[in-house]
Amino acid sequence: MHVLALTAGVATAGLAWSTFVEPHAFALRRATVPVLAAGSEPLRVLHLSDTHMTPRQGHKQAWLRGLADLEPDLVVNTGDNLSHVDALPSVIRAYGDLLDLPGVFVFGSNDYYSPRLKNPVRYLTGGTGVASNGAWMREKDLPFEAMRANFTRRGWTDLSNQHGELEVAGRQVSFVGVDDPHLHLDELDDAPADASADLAIGVTHAPYLRVLDRWNSLGYPLILAGHTHGGQLRVPFYGALVTNCDLDRTRARGLHQHQVEDHPASWLHVSAGLGSSPVTPVRFACRPEATLLTLTAVDSPGLPG
């Protein structure tokens, strides 16, 4: 009986922590990526993803507004900004002055469709494929077009199935992006990375292997993605249980490399994101996050090769 009581107590404490504490414990991660040409000065990139905003999340909104104090050179937003039909004003206020910086974005499924309750067992046992709740068959009910207009009016570049180019801190940066691969909205082309640019970056919401493989083979040295929530529920010393796509769970969050045969490796950064669906508002051993990436020259001392 004592063992059962102890087990029940630990489970209750874990549930309370994952529901009421950790989802609000926002973290700023930092990583250094040796991806620029030899002799280049660093670039600072703020990677935002999976905000999943609802109107009343004041703490999250205030924390996001404060990220402007980092003064990044570039903002990359990898989607899933919304979780409520009335959340757009909150998103715009939360991003605040970040919208006046050079920035690019793509959308995820929760920029188009409001969240619906799913079977968590099905997610944990088979969360590696396309969205399974028929979302793509129903009408898009979130204000994605108004959000797109707000972002682009402030100066961010829409990369949904598009290429783009920005001047960032005096450097020319080229981009390729896709619409959400989780809903099979991605349209991949065969255009190689722009060799004349100082840097080429691939931007996707969901890090499906077909996207990563294509961009690595086309010579993109850096790829940014979100979607996985870092697994959302992680087991200490084991890591993420699932990624909700076909990426292996060992790369569910953070900085890794991706390589197909006979091509140099690309750096891959997967954000664990700042939120979660309001129908599954839990995180365990996986704090919500934004990441400040410092891009440095490949010849910078003391960096991984």
User: Is the residue at 242 inside a domain?
Assistant: yes
Task: Pull the structure tokens for residue 13.
Answer: 């404490």
Instruction: State mean pLDDT over 19-27.
Output: 91
pLDDT of residue 71: 98
Residue 20, domain member (yes or no): yes
Most confident of 6-10, 124-128, 145-149: 145-149
Q: How high is the pLDDT of residue 305?
A: 38
Mean pLDDT of 244-262: 97
Using only C-alpha atoms, the chain has a radius of gyration, in whole angstroms, of 19
> Does residue 305 belong to any structural domain of this protein?
no
- pLDDT over 90 percentage in the chain: 82
- At 79-138, the pLDDT tens digits run 999 999 999 999 999 999 999 999 999 999 999 999 987 766 666 665 544 454 445 568
The whole model's pTM is what? Answer: 0.92
Kindly state whether residue 304 falls inside one of the protein's structural domains: no
Question: Is 86 within a domain?
Answer: yes
Read off the pLDDT of each residue in 231-247 and give the average, rounded to a whole number. Answer: 96
We report the CATH number of the domain holding residue 63 as: 3.60.21.10
Q: Residue 102 falls within a domain, yes or no?
A: yes
Name the more confident of 231 and 123.
231
Question: Is 277 part of any domain?
Answer: yes
Is 302 part of any domain? no
- When divided into structural domains, the chain yields a total of 1
Tell me if 230 sits within 8 A of 249, measured CB to CB. Answer: no
Give the range of the structural domain holding residue 29, as residue numbers without chain letter.
Answer: 2-297
Task: Single out the residue of 144, 169, 175 nearest to residue 157, CA to CA.
Answer: 175
Q: Which ranges in the chain belong to alpha helices (H)?
A: 2-16, 58-66, 88-95, 109-112, 120-126, 144-154, 209-217
